[in-house]
Amino acid sequence: LYKPVDFDLSSVDETLQNPRGRTGMRGLGGLLHYGENRKVIPVVLRKHEGKIEMLTIMKSSGSWQFPQFFEDEDFKRKPLGKQLEDEIKKYFQSVGFSEEEIKQKLATIYADVEAVPVKLPTDPLDTDQAWLKTHIAVIFDKQEKHFGTVAFDPSANELSLGWKKIDKEMLKALKKLPTKSSDVSDLGSQNRYFMVYRTVPVMCVPAGVLLFYHWYVALPIILIMLIVYGILRLHDYIQERKEKRNFEFL
């Protein structure tokens, strides 16, 4: 008869307790070690031949995904992650740069990186003894003065990294990335009016029922909610148009 192995916390330091609170899950879960685990998501953009391109992991199936790496290093020292830094070094070495030149190149790259800590109330991978801290590292090399010069060949590097021209699909994926201002209501959507969009239609149901009995009370309520809903939708549409124009002008 199979007897599953019981989880034993005796080997885990009692101080390693999730600062975000209890999750109902014990042990490592899908994380690498107890305590804080670090993950970096590099969002690397360049302007190449008049087009905006993003560094992605290119799969053999033709699909792509954002690079993301678990890291033991400090985000401040290696904001793009050790694995990505190693690939950059390999490329610069292959084109004949000296160690000192590579060091200077990396310093220039890191000076342009904007690190965005992702502040979520919890992460799906969190357990009571292990939790995940995520940073998004953003860099845009508009003039190909450092990172943009790296000719990544997906078939020739260990991470399958390659440049891909920004399209509508990628813009949508960028919007879904967690942000610094994320909170509980944003976990299912990156739209800051997410809860309003969900609440207004639900509120219209009881208001609609009330309409049959006290129409003079219900009708103004329904109209106000629909007006608010419409204004927020219009605001989001205008914002999306602005973002699209900004990418076209870059």
For the chain, helix, strand, coil in percent to 5 are 40, 20, 40
Closest CA to 144 of 93, 109, 100: 109
> What is the rounded CA–CA span in Å between residue 118 and residue 40?
10
The token pair that represents 235 in the structure block:
């605001």
Q: Is residue 41 part of a domain?
A: yes
> What is the rounded CA–CA span in Å between residue 141 and residue 48?
9
The token pair that represents 120 in the structure block:
């979520």
213 shares a domain with 151: no
Indicate yes or no: pTM above 0.85: no
71 shares a domain with 39: yes
Closest CA to 203 of 228, 186, 235, 237: 228
pLDDT digits (tens, 9 = 90+) for 97-152: 999 999 999 999 998 898 877 777 778 888 999 988 888 888 899 888 888 888 88
pLDDT digits (tens, 9 = 90+) for 60-90: 887 888 898 888 777 778 888 899 999 999 9
Question: Are the C-beta atoms of residues 101 and 92 closer than 8 Å to each other?
Answer: yes
Q: Is residue 188 part of a domain?
A: no
Q: Is residue 185 part of a domain?
A: no
> Which residue segment(s) compose the domain that 235 sits in?
194-249
Closest CA to 53 of 133, 121, 149, 182: 149
Q: How many domains does the chain have?
A: 2
Q: Is residue 222 part of a domain?
A: yes
Question: Are the C-beta atoms of residues 67 and 42 closer than 8 Å to each other?
Answer: yes
